[in-house]
Amino acid sequence: MRVYRATDYSDMSRKAANMISAQVILQPDCVLGLATGSSPLGIYRQLVEWYKKGDLDFSEVTTINLDEYAGLSGDDANSYRHFMKTNFWAYINIKPENTHIPDGPAHDPESECIRYDSIISARGGIDMQLLGLGHNGHIGFNEPGTAFDKDTHLVALTESTIEANRRFFEGRDVPGHAYTMGIRSIMQSKKILVIASGAHKAKIVKAAFFGPVTPMVPASVLQLHNNVTLVGDEGAMALI
């Protein structure tokens, strides 16, 4: 595992955006695995800025997102598809048909999971997967206790995740279920880029990357991957 210490959120975002840029420049038709949440927002802003300067071309890039709330359509302001459109895709030249995210309102969850896994395998797997880190060590929506050998599946969210996400819902009910790539799907990515910012992530960064590998801390499985880069700012790296 490579570890990069950044001074603050914007330094973390710039360093991680540089790594994603290198991936896109060296392999213009790469498959990027993307995440939502607060952690990657600065990366998306930085990539958009470089795209606008003419330094990046996303016309051949495919993106495959980690997760989506069950029941929310892509037009819903709280859906992850909407998040990706409004924070990233709308500002770059990615082809809409090359952006993938689970279909929240899918009628048959089992077929939806199979469809999603087949998108990943048809594209030859994910070249670089970007991951944020949940307070409880979740990656995607793989909550503590999830078996390491799962592909895309439907999960019931834990109370702590529902609470952590409530800030985005402004009084609406937070959905109780979500589709997520499984730990196995994530582990099959060729490269994994983990970002963490803020002192509130310090304990989980230490547990995930320097503690025992256990399903109770899903991100700890990343210690077993052979190409993981962690970029954390001072707060998140305070206990390392």
- List residues with catalytic annotation: 67, 136, 138, 143
Answer yes or no whether residue 232 interacts with ligand F6R by CB under 6 A: no
Tokens linked to 23? 């991936």
- Rounded to a whole number of angstroms, the CA Rg of the chain reads 17
Answer yes or no whether residue 67 interacts with ligand F6R by CB under 6 A: yes
Of residues 48 and 137, the one with the C-beta less far from ligand F6R: 137
Q: In the window 97-156, what residues touch ligand F6R (CB under 6 A)?
A: 132-134, 138-140
231: β partners? 4, 195
CB of 117 to ligand F6R, least distance (A): 17
Interface with ligand F6R (CB under 6 A), residue from 6, 31, 47, 66: 66
User: Do the beta carbons of residue 157 and residue 221 sit within 8 Å?
Assistant: no
CB of 38 to ligand F6R, least distance (A): 4
Stretch that binds ligand F6R, among 10-18, 29-37, 100-108, 206-214 (CB under 6 A): 29-37
User: Do the beta carbons of residue 204 and residue 169 sit within 8 Å?
Assistant: no
User: Do the beta carbons of residue 196 and residue 132 sit within 8 Å?
Assistant: yes
Q: In the window 30-49, what residues touch ligand F6R (CB under 6 A)?
A: 35-39
CB of 53 to ligand F6R, least distance (A): 26
Closest CA to 70 of 109, 120, 115: 109
Of residues 30 and 138, the one with the C-beta less far from ligand F6R: 138
Q: 3-class secondary structure for 132-172?
A: CCCCCCCECCECCCCCCCCCCEEEECCHHHHHHHHHHCCCC
Which stretches of the chain bind ligand F6R, using CB under 6 A?
Answer: 35-39, 66-67, 132-134, 138-140
